[in-house]
Amino acid sequence: MIARALGLPTFRFNAVLGGAIVTLLILAALFGPWLAPHNPLTLNLSARMSGPTSVNLLGADEFGRDMLSRLLYGARTSALIAVSTVAFALVTGVFFGVLAGFLRGYVDRIIMTFNDAFLAFPGLLLALGFMAVFGASRNGIIIALGLAYMPVVVRVVRAAVMSIREREYVEASRVMGNSEFVTMARHVLPNCIAPVTVLATTMFGWIVLSESALSFLGLGVPPPAPSWGNMLSTARPFISQAPHMIVLPGLCIAVTLLGVNMLGDAVRDWLDPKMKV
C-alpha cells in the first residue's frame, strides 16, 4: 500500500518494515533487563506521575516507577507470552490436526466434535472462561489463550493433511513398507509447514492483542509485574493528570501489532501467493 506509492514492491516493504518492528520487539524482550535504566518495580514517590525528565526518560507512573523500564519489561512479558502461547497452540493443534486428518474415521469424528465446540465460542469468551478456571497468572494466560486458539490450528492442519494424504508420494511411502507413523512424520508433516507458518504469524498478533486485553481487564498478567495491558489498566484513573501513562503503553501495543500484521501479510504473500490480493 504505502509501498506502492513509493514505488517499492509491497512484499518487500511489508517484510522490511514489519520485520524491523518485530526485530525491535525481540531485541527489547531479550535485552530489556540490561537496557532498562531502572528496576521496573522500584518505587520513587517524589517522581509520581512525572513527565519525561533526565532521570525518567519517558516519565514515571503513579508510584514513581520508571516508565521506560516498565515498557521494556512489558515487551519481554508480551513477547514471552505470545511465543509460548503460539508454541502451545501449534504443538497441540498440529498433533490433533494431523491425527484427525491422517487417521480419519472415529478419531477424526471425536477430535472434530470437540474442536467445533470450541470454535463455536468467540475467542475472547473462551479465553475468559479458561481464565476463570486457571486464575490470573502468566501460565494461566498461556494455557487459556493457547486452548482458545488451538482449534483454528487443528482445522488448518487437518485440511492440509487431508489433501496431502491423497498424493502419490504418500502412497509410495506406504507401498515401500513404511509404517503409518513414519509416513506421517517424514512425508505428511513437513508439507504442513507452509500453511502453519502463515497461521502462526497471524496468530502472534491476535495473541499480543488478546493478552493485552485480558491484562487490561485485570484477568491477565497480575500487577506489579509490568505488561502493556495492565499498565493501561492502572493508568486509566490518572488519564487527566498523566496522559503519558496512557499514550506510551498503547503506542507500544499498536506499533507491535502493526509490525506483526505487516510481517504476516509478507509471509502470506511469500508462502501462499494464491491469497495475495
Partner 1 sequence: MGRFFLSRVASAIPTILIVSLTVFVMMRLIPGDPATLMLGDLAQPGQVEAMRRQMGLDQPIALQYFIWMGDVLTGDFGVSISSRQSVLPLILDRFSVSATIVLVAVFFATVIAVPAGMIAAWRQDSARDIAVIATATLFLSIPSFWMGLMLMMVFGLTLGWLPIVGYVPFSRDFGQALLFIVMPVITLVLVESGSIARMARASTIEVARLEYITHARAKGLSETAVMWRHAFRNAFAPTWTLIGLILGSLLANIAVIETVFTIPGLGRLLVESIYARDYPVVQGCMLFIAFLYVMVNLLVDLVYPLLDPRVTA
Binding site for partner 1 (CB under 8 A): 1-2, 4-5, 113-114, 116-118, 120-125, 128-133, 135, 209, 212-213, 216-219, 232-233, 236, 239-240, 243, 246-247, 249-250, 253-255, 257-258, 261-262, 277
Residue 41 or 271: the one with the smaller Cβ distance to partner 1 is 271
Q: CA-to-CA distance for 22 and 205, rounded, in angstroms?
A: 11
Residue 32 or 249: the one with the smaller Cβ distance to partner 1 is 249
- Least separation in angstroms between residue 153's CB and partner 1 is 18
- Least separation in angstroms between residue 203's CB and partner 1 is 15
Residue 7 or 177: the one with the smaller Cβ distance to partner 1 is 7
Residue 121 or 270: the one with the smaller Cβ distance to partner 1 is 121
Residue 142 or 189: the one with the smaller Cβ distance to partner 1 is 142
- Least separation in angstroms between residue 233's CB and partner 1 is 8
Q: Give me the sign of the Cα torsion angle 266, 252, 84, 73.
A: positive
Residue 6 or 175: the one with the smaller Cβ distance to partner 1 is 6
- Least separation in angstroms between residue 207's CB and partner 1 is 13
- Least separation in angstroms between residue 26's CB and partner 1 is 18
Q: Hey, what amino acid is at 131?
A: M
- Least separation in angstroms between residue 47's CB and partner 1 is 22
Residue 93 or 264: the one with the smaller Cβ distance to partner 1 is 264
Q: Specify the long-range contacts of residues 113-120, CB closer than 8 Å, at least 24 apart.
A: 115/151, 115/154, 115/155, 116/151, 118/147, 118/148, 118/150, 118/151, 119/151, 119/152, 119/155
- Least separation in angstroms between residue 36's CB and partner 1 is 23
What secondary structure, in 3-state letters, does the chain show? CHHHHCCCCHHHHHHHHHHHHHHHHHHHHHHHHHHCCCCCCCCCHHHCCCCCCCCCCCCECCCCCEHHHHHHHHHHHHHHHHHHHHHHHHHHHHHHHHHHHHHCHHHHHHHHHHHHHHHCCCHHHHHHHHHHHHCCCHHHHHHHHHHHHHHHHHHHHHHHHHHHCCCHHHHHHHHCCCCHHHHHHHHHHHHHHHHHHHHHHHHHHHHHHHHHHHHHCCCCCCCCCCCHHHHHHHHHHHCCCCCHHHHHHHHHHHHHHHHHHHHHHHHHHHHCHHHCC
Residue 179 or 241: the one with the smaller Cβ distance to partner 1 is 241
- Least separation in angstroms between residue 166's CB and partner 1 is 26
